[in-house]
Amino acid sequence: MTLPLHMDRTDTSATAQPMPTDMMLKWADERANDVYLRQIIDRQFVDFTYAEVTQQALKLVSALQAQGLQPGDRIAIISKNCAEWFITDLALMFGSFISVPIFPTAGADTIEHCLTHSESKAIFVGKLDDAAAISSVLAKYPDVTSIAYPYPSAPKCHFTLADFIGDHSPSTARPVHQDDDLMSIVYTSGTSGLPKGALLNYGAFSWSAQRLVEHIGMQKGERLFSYLPLAHITERVYIFGSSVMAGIQVAFPESLDTFIDDVKMHRPTLFISVPRLWTVFQQRIFDKLPQGKLNLLLKIPFISGIIKRKLADGLGLDQARVLGCGSAPVSPALLRWYESIGLNITEAWGMTESFAYSTLNHPFRSDKIGTVGNAGPGIDVKIAEDDEILVRSQGLFAGYYKNEDASQAMFDADGWLRTGDIGFMDNDGYLTIQGRKNDTFKTAKGKFVSPVPIEKRIFELGNFEMLCVVGSGMPGPILLAVPHAYPNFDPERYARSAERVINTLNEELESHAKIKGVLMIKDPWSIENGILTPTLKIKRHVLEQKYHEIGAQWPKDQLVQWEK
């Protein structure tokens, strides 16, 4: 494997950073009987102490070695979040194997690509909503050793985890990892084509997680809740990484159906989510307490405080001192709404290639809602002449596996990471994202339109479940909108509301960017129907292709149409 030349361009002459394996041994020694992981099963916590997690991980190393696996071999993990995921990840580090996380919602083609492209020799399979995709891939590659986690949704594998570990003794290996040793190959979620395998080294991972711990002030006694996919860099660094580096307790949900109750059981002090889920939480509140009534209650001084406490308690977030949001653009209006009920959400920005750690609005500043915060400690951010955001730090990836050209294209001559995002910084250094360079489209009239600022404004003006502005090669942009599933939904009233929103918006836009029509989408977008990535980002190019003809032939006398 040839690593890209950019590794030599960045100054990494800093104090040696403890590695995750060092920290786990430290906690197992100093806090052996403290509970580290809490897995909810049958509405009860099943607890794992630091000593137990470390012992299990070291036993797993011995079991893998007994199968003939060697340091440097790639080993995949596909599962929803669970205690076994953490234990496996730690075992792969202790054994100096290279982990290859795969999204649990990935289809067969993506799973096969990640498995074969990485040349993985084994795979751990766990909690899944649907095991059909992974089962079909396992049947196709019987030489890949498969190990099933102890959950009913895991498919049949060569081994169960218990049988695989058997009576193996804990490994006595104590690896000494260097900063540039390869830790993991993380495949990007693939909004445009097959995912690329980002090479993540130990030094950059440990540095990023430790900077977060210090910046947010994480300490013993905190509680984390792990539910966003661990195959995604944000969860891997912000939750797994910080929990290992700072010795923080982590709980895992039992299921999607019990999610809110699971959060209530654990009462996290630090909680991160994505825009889509913050919107779902808001809608749950509206279902019980309509906006009009909520506004009235919040105006009454004594009642206001009670309502805010009840809302936070109802989400299980009454003890959360830091709330976070990232991974996709979020409407400032949504963050303002949460602020109005006493929940301040810190927006953050990063990418797989920067270990998800670049900017964050922490400590929270209300006047900076709409930005993604300023550069975290140790991060340098600047804006290029073409408005692309560039990042430089010790926490950058080492290139893409088997893709030298793409690796080199990600860095300029001075080691700055080309993020592909465009934006600007204010006088205080707070960054505003205006979208992806490749999101900007050209209409049939030859005019360029940047859709993300328009989408953010629509979210502020209207009330849509999801939306996307498209228009490449069309006479003008059109809005694809997924309506909220209100009780007693009135399509005509909703259409009139949408017309008012678009008329207001169009008065603010230049003529070439004005919305020509609104298509109300019949079926919600999901991972299953191929519109959302596993991290709930919208695949804009898929929608562009699917609705191109409708947009190209949009009637001049009709603003709103309903998908048939």
pLDDT digits (tens, 9 = 90+) for 96-132: 999 999 999 888 999 999 999 999 999 999 999 999 9
- The DSSP 8-state label assigned to residue 492 in this structure reads H
pLDDT in tens, 18-76: 999 999 999 999 999 999 999 999 999 999 999 999 999 999 999 999 999 999 999 99
Query: Could you tell me which residues are beta bridge partners of residue 524?
Result: none
C-alpha–C-alpha distance, residues 343 and 349, integer Å: 19
- Give the start-to-end residue ranges of the domains of the chain: 1-13+38-43+203-275+317-439, 48-175, 440-562
Query: For 440-562, CATH number?
Result: 3.30.300.30
Residues with Cβ within 8 Å of residue 29, at least 6 apart in sequence: none
Collapsed DSSP state (helix, strand, coil) of residue 100: strand
pLDDT in tens, 332-370: 889 999 999 999 999 999 999 999 999 999 999 999 999
pLDDT at 542 over 80: yes
C-alpha–C-alpha distance, residues 279 and 463, integer Å: 10
For residue 193, name the pLDDT band (cuts at 50, 70, 90). low
Domain 1-13+38-43+203-275+317-439 shares a fold with domain 48-175: yes
Residue type, 351: M
pLDDT at 13 over 50: no
Residues with Cβ within 8 Å of residue 128, at least 6 apart in sequence: 78, 79, 80, 104, 134, 153, 154, 155
Q: What predicted TM-score, i.e. pTM, was given to this entire model?
A: 0.85
C-alpha–C-alpha distance, residues 289 and 478, integer Å: 33
For residue 1, name the pLDDT band (cuts at 50, 70, 90). very low
Q: How many of the other CB atoms lie within 10 Å of CB of 294? A: 18
Phi, psi of 520 (to 5 degrees): -80, 120
Among 16-30, 96-110, 293-307, 458-472, the minimum mean pLDDT is found in: 458-472
Architecture of the domain spanning 48-175: 3-Layer(aba) Sandwich (3.40)
Q: What is the pLDDT of residue 490?
A: 86
pLDDT in tens, 408-417: 999 999 999 9
For residue 557, name the pLDDT band (cuts at 50, 70, 90). confident
Q: What is the pLDDT of residue 514?
A: 92
Q: What is the pLDDT of residue 192?
A: 55
More confident residue, 157 or 552: 157
Give percent of the chain with pLDDT exceeding 90. Answer: 75
Q: What is the pLDDT of residue 502?
A: 94
174 with 72: CB under 8 angstroms? no
pLDDT at 6 over 80: no
Fold of 1-13+38-43+203-275+317-439: Rossmann fold (3.40.50)
- The DSSP 8-state label assigned to residue 334 in this structure reads H
356 with 234: CB under 8 angstroms? yes
Mean pLDDT of the chain: 92
pLDDT in tens, 491-541: 888 999 999 999 999 999 988 899 999 999 998 898 888 898 877 788 888
Q: What is the pLDDT of residue 453?
A: 86
Q: What is the pLDDT of residue 439?
A: 81
pLDDT in tens, 199-247: 999 999 999 999 999 999 998 999 999 999 999 999 999 999 999 999 9
